[in-house]
Amino acid sequence: MSKEKSKQAAALKALEWVEDGMVLGLGSGTTSHHFIRGLIKKFQQGLTIQAIASSEESETLAQSGGIPLLDMTQVSSLDLTVDGADEIDPQKRMIKGAGGALVREKILASMSREMVVIVDSSKLVDTLGQAPLPIEVIPFGVSATIGRLEKLSLQGTLRGGSAPFLTDNGNYIYDARLPPHLENPESLHLQLVQIPGVVDTGFFFGLAGRVVIGQEDGTVMVKD
């Protein structure tokens, strides 16, 4: 069974936890899109839900299926957010943001009673940092900001190079390579968010609730 099928299996499991009347946070990326497509089916069969999307892409997908989308300025809490991850360690610490939606994803996760994480087994790591850490930075003064990141020994690349990738917030993403045995990601995150120009990092701590891991054989494992 392909990786896509594993992602779909994880997404379908999370759909079982969606209840009538819920206000949902919708994640971004291919796994979240499997979830949104499943949600559209359930909505069209009569499930009553409202949602807020973490990216314009996910919003467009949800809108295409008629899912009622709320205005973010009028919502302060969510029942459930379902989102993917780029890496997740045994303590459910994550790296997210390969799709560039990390800031909105973190806002939705932090507003939710629970963030359900849906991944395929390739996302499980012992130590965070196998994938680059996306860091959202403001375009103004980006060279100085990158210089400061490099001074912390975080070599990396500006996503998109000379035609930088723009997030939905109008910012850039710096993809930083992390040291091979990163012992204290929490402390690194705190250092990074103190740099003027850094909006947020793709580290997600203390946010993951249930983690659904789609397996290659189509079954799922749920970590409570």
User: Which parts of 3-22 interact with ligand 5RP (CB under 6 A)?
Assistant: none
Closest residue to ligand 5RP, judged by C-beta, is 29
Tokens of 61: 């997908």
CB 15, CB 223: distance < 8 Å: no
Active site residue 4: no
Report the distance separating Cα 118 and Cα 140, nearest Å: 35
Give the nearest distance from C-beta 215 to ligand 5RP in angstroms: 15
Report the distance separating Cα 109 and Cα 25, nearest Å: 7
- The alpha carbon torsion through 68, 76, 15, 206 (nearest 10 deg) reads 150
Q: Out of 57, 59, 105, 136, pick the active-site residue.
A: 105
Q: Pick from 85, 103, 115, 208: which binds ligand 5RP (CB under 6 A)?
A: 85
Tell whether residue 25 is a contact of ligand 5RP (CB under 6 A): no
Of 100 and 197, which has the nearer Cβ to ligand 5RP?
100
Tokens of 185: 């990601």
Give the nearest distance from C-beta 213 to ligand 5RP in angstroms: 13
User: Which parts of 146-175 interact with ligand 5RP (CB under 6 A)?
Assistant: none
Q: How many residues of this chain bind ligand 5RP (CB under 6 A)?
A: 18
CB 82, CB 113: distance < 8 Å: no
Q: Which of 107, 113, 99, 120 is nearest to 57 (CA)?
A: 99
Of 118 and 149, which has the nearer Cβ to ligand 5RP?
118
Report the distance separating Cα 44 and Cα 34, nearest Å: 16
Give the nearest distance from C-beta 206 to ligand 5RP in angstroms: 17
User: Which parts of 54-83 interact with ligand 5RP (CB under 6 A)?
Assistant: 83
Neighbours of 17 (CB within 10 A): 16
User: Which parts of 92-151 interact with ligand 5RP (CB under 6 A)?
Assistant: 96-102, 105
Tokens of 87: 């890496």
User: Which parts of 29-48 interact with ligand 5RP (CB under 6 A)?
Assistant: 29-32
Give the nearest distance from C-beta 156 to ligand 5RP in angstroms: 16
Tokens of 11: 């997404």
Beta-bridge partner residues of 88: 94, 124
Residues with active-site annotation: 105
Residues in contact with ligand 5RP by CB under 6 A are 27-32, 83-86, 96-102, 105
